[in-house]
Amino acid sequence: MTVFHIHIQGIVQGVGFRPFVYKLAISQGLNGWVNNTNDGVHIEINANKATAESFLQEILDKLPPLAVVTSATIKPVGDKDFKGFEIIQSEGKQKPNLLLTPDVAMCEDCRRELHNPKDRRYRYPFITCTNCGPRYSIITALPYDRPNTTMDKFKMCPVCWDEYNNPLERRHFSQTNSCPDCAVELQLYENGKITENFTDLDYIVRQWNKGKIIAIKGIGGYLLTCDATNKKAVQTLRERKHRPVKPFALMYPDLESIRQDAHLSKKEEKELKSIHSPIVLLALKKHLENQLALNEINSGLTRIGVMIPYTPLYDLLLSTFGKPIIATSGNITGSTIIYDDKKAIDELSEIADIILMNNRDIVIPQDDGVVQFSKESQQKIVLRRSRGKAPVYINPNLKFDKDVLATGSMLKSVFGFSSNGNVYISQFLGNTETYDAQVNYEKTFEHLINILKPEFKAVVTDKHPDYFATRFGKEFARKNNIPVYEIQHHKAHFYSVLGENDLLQSNEKILGIVWDGTGLGDDGNIWGGEFFLYENKQIKRIAHLPEFDFILADKMVKEPRISALAIFHSYKELSEIIKPKFSKTEWNIYQKLLQNPPLKSTSMGRLFDAVSSLLFDNDLHHFEAEASMRLEQKAAELYYKNNFDLSLSYLKYSSRDNFLYKLIKGIISDINNGLDRKLIAVKFHLTLVDYIRQTAGKLQIKHLAFSGGVFQNALLVDMIIQHLKEKYFLYFHKEFSPNDEGIAFGQMVFLNE
C-alpha cells in the first residue's frame, strides 16, 4: 500500500505532539507511525493522496495548545503495509533543526488536579503534563525525550509509567511526568542543616508570617521571597541584598488578589495568565486592600511589578499564605540569578534565613520576563524577554539562508543566531560588565551550540571595541576562521524593529527614531537621539538631537545632575538652579572640564536625565533609568487627567534655532513663570512628539519605526500613538524589548540584508 511521509517542524517537542497525532490517526483508522527527531516530527501512514493530505490538514487545524508549526511537507515514499499505528523511538543523527520549547507556566488542568483532594497528585508541588512545566530550563540535548532532560534521574513509578505509555492519558509521553510516589523532592536548608524529602509547606508559610526571608528554587533559578506586607522583612531583604532603592517584584496568590491593589486591564490580565507568565507592571490603586510595605517595595513609583504563581510549588505556598510576597531574583545584586543548589547555599544563605531547594536540576538559568502596557492605547512594551519566551523567535517572513551569530550589546546582554534557517534569541543575560554575567553568557552560548550544532559562516558584533560581547564575537570568529562584521549600535536597533515588523522589503521610505542612553557612534561620539532613513535597503543617519558636551564618562550616566550641567551650563538661569547640586570643588573641576570636553553626545537618555534632575532633583541614579522613570511618572500624573495636545510643544513659536535651544528656552520661561513642574514635564514629553512630527514632516516620510530604551517610556509611547496615528504609520517592537536586548536580533537582520 502507498506510504505518505509527513514532516512537521516548529515547536513540536515537549508539547504532546506525538500522542496528539497518535490519537488522530487511531480515530481515523490509519496505520503507520510517528516519531520525534532532531529535525522535527515525522509521520508515515498508509493512505492515498487525498486521505494523507486531509490528515495533515487536520493536524494543522487541531494542533496541541503549545505547538507552533513553521513548516509541514508531505510526499509519497513507496509501498509498505503497516499494522496499526505506533509511536516509535526517537532518533537523533542529523543536524538539529527544530525550535526549542520554552518553559511553560502551570496549566489549568494541572491546577485543578493540584487542589483536588481526590486526585493522586493532590498538593504535589511538581505536577506537570504535556501542556505545561519546564522545558528549555531542563533540556540537555535533542530530541526532547526524558533521557535528554534533568528528569532522567527520576524513575517513573508503575502508575506514572502506565500514564506515560497510555495514548488515552493526557500525560502520554509527558517527559516531566512524576507523582508523589516517584517524586521530585524538596530539601530545606536552615541553620546549616539540610532536611531531605521536606514536605511541610505550611512551615514555609509560617516562616513568611514570622518575617523570614526564604529563597525558593523555581523554574529559571532561585527567587528571594518574604511577606510583602511586612515592612521590616522587606527592609531586611533590601539591606542584606545591598539593594537600597530599586523596586521589587511581587507575586500574588491570584488575579483576584491583584485586583485588590492594582488596576488590571484585559490585556494585562491575559498577559499574566499566559503560558509565559511574566512580571507585568501595573498601576497601583489609590486605596490598597493589602497592607503592602509600599515605600520599602517601590520607593515612590506608582507602578508595581506583579506576577502570579507559575509553578505548582508557588501556587501551593501562595494559596495558603493568601497575601502577596516579594519575589525577586535570587542573586547578589548585579550578578546572574543563582540556579545551582550548592551555590545557593554558599551565596544566598547570606541573604535568606531558609532555602527551599529541590532535586530537579536547572540546566540554564533564566530571570522572570517583564512586560508593561501603556495606559491609554494599551501598547505592549517588553522590558525583559526571558523565561517562557527564550530561546525561540518565529517569523515566517524572515529567511536566514546561512548560520550566523550576533553577539549583542553590553548592559542588557542577549545573543542570537540562526541555524538551519531557524532564529534563536537567548534569554536576557544581564550586564556583561560583571564577571558572573560573562561566565553565564559563555555557558548559555555553549549549551545552545551543543544542542543545536549551528555551522556559523559569519559573526556580527557591535562597533564598541570594549564590550565583552564584541570581544567574544571577534575571538570566536578568529578561532573558527570566519569573517566578523560590525554594525553601529543604533543602526542595529533600527534593523531590529524593521525586521520584527517585516519592513525590510518595503518600498516606502521609513524613518527610524532610535533614542536611548548610550551607544558608540560612527564618528566616535556618544549617540542616542537618532533619526535614520531606511531607503533602498540602506540606513542613513539624517538627523539627530543637537550635540552637547559629554564629560566624566560613566559618572555622567550614573549621575543625572552631571547631564543637567553638561546640557544646561551655558544658560545662566539654569546654571543657577543646578549649581547647588554640586560641592564647590566639584563645580570648579566640572566647569574646567566643560571648557574642553572630551566628547560630544546626542543621547536622548541623558536629556531625560538632565530634565528630571532640573525639575525634580532626581540627581543620582540608584538603578538604571530611574530619573527618566520618575520624570515620566510626574508627567503621567497630570497628562492622563487632561486633554493636552501638541499645542503645548515648545517648538511651535519659532522655526529658527535648533531643537535643544527652543526646548531649553521654553523650559526657562515656564520655570520663571512658576508653572507647575509636572506640567513642564508634560510639555517636555509633548515637545519630543512634536520633534518627531516635525522631522517626519520636513522629510515627507509617513512610516515611523521606534526603537531604543527611551521607548520603554509608556507615556511617550501613548502620546506618540495618540497624536501621530492619524497621519502616520507607526511601528513599535512586538516580541523584543526596545532596549538593548533587541540589539542581537537587529545585528542578525543587518547581516542577512
Contact set with Zn ion (CB under 5 A): 107, 110, 129, 131-132, 157, 160, 179, 181-182
DSSP-derived 3-state class of residue 152: coil
Amino acid identity for residue 24 in this structure: L
Phi, psi of 262 (to 5 degrees): -140, 155
The one-letter amino acid code at 277 reads: S
Listed residue (337, 329, 327, 332) closest to 304, CA to CA: 327
The three cell numbers locating residue 207: 516562616
End-to-end CA distance of the chain: 47
CB 607 within 8 A of CB 529: yes
Is 46 one of the catalytic residues? no
CB distance 419 to 452 below 8 Å = yes
Tell me how far apart the alpha carbons of residues 223 and 240 are, in angstroms, rounded to a whole number. 14
User: For residues 15 and 281, which CB has a smaller minimum distance to Zn ion in the complex?
Assistant: 15
What is the C-alpha to C-alpha distance for residues 656 and 75, in angstroms, rounded to an integer?
68
Phi-psi region of 556 (alpha: psi -120 to 50; beta: other; left: phi over 0): alpha
Nearer to Zn ion, 158 or 674 (CB): 158
As a whole number of angstroms, the distance between CA 249 and CA 239 comes to 16
When the beta carbons of 109 and 502 are compared against Zn ion, the nearer one is 109
| Beta carbon nearer to Zn ion, 131 or 236 | 131
Residue with smaller CB distance to Zn ion, 72 or 179: 179
Whose Cβ is closer to Zn ion: residue 129's or residue 469's?
A: 129
Element (H, E) at 160: helix 158-165
CA 330, CA 367: separation in Å to the nearest integer?
9
Annotated catalytic residue within 35, 36, 38, 177: 36
The least CB distance from residue 27 to Zn ion, in Å, is 23
Residues 6+ positions from 339 with CB-CB distance below 8 Å: 217, 220, 221, 222, 362, 364, 365
CA distances from 720 to 435, 480, 701 (A): 39, 45, 15
- CA distance linking residue 130 with residue 115, whole number of Å: 19
Which residue's CB is nearer to Zn ion, number 66 or number 459?
Answer: 66
**CB-wise, 157 or 284, nearer to Zn ion?**
157
Beta strands in 537-671, from DSSP E residues, in sequence order: 538-544, 548-550, 599-601
Determine the Cα–Cα distance for residues 670 and 165; give it in Å rounded to an integer: 74
Grid coordinates given for 611: 530634565
Min dist CB 312 to Zn ion, Å, is 9
Shortest Cβ distance from residue 132 to Zn ion (Å)? 3
Distance, CA of 537 to CA of 498 (rounded, Å): 11
Least distance (Å) between residue 157 CB and Zn ion:
3
CA nearest neighbour of 487 among 176, 743, 685: 743
Phi-psi region of 305 (alpha: psi -120 to 50; beta: other; left: phi over 0): beta
Amino acid letter, residue 320: T
The residues facing 706 across adjacent strands are: 513
409: nearest Cα among 338, 497, 472? 472
Task: Label residues 176-191 b or e (16+ Cβ within 10 Å = b).
Answer: bbbbbeebbbbbbbbe
Catalytic residue check, 171 = no
Going through 436-592 in order, the beta strands assigned E by DSSP cover 456-462, 484-487, 510-520, 526-535, 538-544, 548-550
For the chain, what is the radius of gyration of the CA atoms? 27
SS3 124: coil
- H or E segment and range at residue 328: strand 325-329
Give dist(CA 467, CA 469) in Å, integer: 5
Neighbouring C-beta atoms of residue 696, cutoff 10 Å = 20
Q: Which is nearer to Zn ion, 74 or 182 (CB)?
A: 182
Q: Are 279 and 249 in contact (CB under 8 A)?
A: yes
Distance CA 653, CA 666 (A): 10
Give the residue with the Cβ less far from Zn ion, 312 or 512.
Answer: 312
- Cβ-based nearer residue to Zn ion, 160 or 715: 160
Closest CB to Zn ion among 13 and 409? 13
Grouping H, G, I as helix, E, B as strand and the rest as coil, residue 686 is helix
Q: Least Å distance between CB 138 and Zn ion?
A: 15
- Give catalytic residue positions: 18, 36
